[in-house]
Structure 1
């Protein structure tokens, strides 16, 4: 298991610095917000007549599709599907990015441990995270500051857009894990916290508010 550095924990990039930091990876915050809004629209069209997993599933599908399309339009990213896991890969630098539903700690800047995946993930995610793991980089090389060398970029690896649809908002962050074990992230190298996305229609709540896909068991009858 890979453990976080106990001396400082993850590097936290606050919302007011997020746009500048992500621009160094050729990621536009506007593309992220457009993807989140697409997901909200899709989830909002789901009713009680649909399967119980539908709202969380269609939200994820639309977030993935719109984000990958937006990144590709800028020419620096291309889509890839290792083990059928939809990701975007930077065409020049060693970045990959994929959206994933997070738990209630997502986007909470002062959370002591940071977010977990809302549901445990499989082999493809584990391979992506652990294959791209690097030794921890000094904190001062990750935090944006006026003394940084021009053009200095964030660390390479498998990054994730985590989103959590809570009451009245979707909390967001783009973060780089330090490891993955037992279907869950084991900690974070860098957490880039974004401002929460607010829905336009506050009177209508999609069915996946406060959670994600629902596990269910099929029992044989007879």
Structure 2
């Protein structure tokens, strides 16, 4: 059963245990929204969603690195990791159930091998019994540096609002979407201009995390 924190005090208390503050996470999500609505139809179709994601990753790092956290982009999987190496946070777009305590959200798109490794590591760290996540053959064996819990700042833009939550993933479906959560911290609703998304570019499908091999040209 998923443990869901909804009441403001419960949210603040649980975030405090992780070394986080709801207000600062909300600011990070707002920065992503501003990046999204700053795009125009002249931008490439994939750019608005990518721009929003990149700005939220940047915002998380600018908030947390002064607090002693570290950034990691290993295998092109962008994380911010606490100083003890026990908690990591990634950013992803969620479906319409995001931020709704009575529903069960999933990531909007299928995810890649790095997310699969993180979910498997969560299962092992929390000693949970779940159907195993199938890891691609190219994935590295889980090492000591991966024995941490990786949370996802899950964000969903809809007409007139942005909903978000910080949640701990524990399973992925056959389609590669994260679909199960050990714990959800509901961060609430950020009101936005109800007319903005009508004129902004449509949200593109979020690209899964990938491994890119770079080779020198002969």
TM-score (norm 2): 0.77
- SS of equivalent to 1:39: helix
SS of residue paired to 2:110: coil
Residue in 1 aligned with 2:101?
A: 109
The higher relative CO (CA closer than 8 Å, separation ≥ 6) is in 1
Instruction: Give the equivalent residue in structure 2 for 1:125.
Output: 115
Equivalent in the alignment of 1:98: 90
Listed as ranges, the matches of 1:178-193 within 5 Å are 178-182=170-174, 183-193=176-186
TM-score calculated relative to the size of structure 1 = 0.76
Structure 1 outlier segments of 4+, above 6 Å? none
Match of 2:167 in 1: 175
SS of 1:196's partner is strand
- What are the within-5 Å matches in structure 2 for residues 1-222 of structure 1? 9-16=1-8, 17-75=10-68, 77-92=69-84, 94-111=86-103, 114-133=104-123, 134-136=126-128, 157-182=149-174, 183-199=176-192, 201-205=193-197, 207=200, 211-213=203-205
Segments of structure 2 that go 5 or more residues without pairing to the other structure are 130-147, 208-218
The alignment of Structure 1 onto Structure 2 pairs a total of residues equal to 184
CA offset at residue 208 of structure 1? 5.5
* 2:28 partner SS: helix
Cα offset for 1:82?
Answer: 2.2
Could you say what the CA RMSD is over the residues aligned between the two structures, in angstroms?
2.1
Indicate the SS of the match to 2:196. Answer: coil
The answer as to whether partners of 1:163 and 1:170 remain within 8 angstroms in 2 is yes
SS in 2 for 1:83: helix
Q: Distance in 2 between matches of 1:71 and 1:212?
A: 28
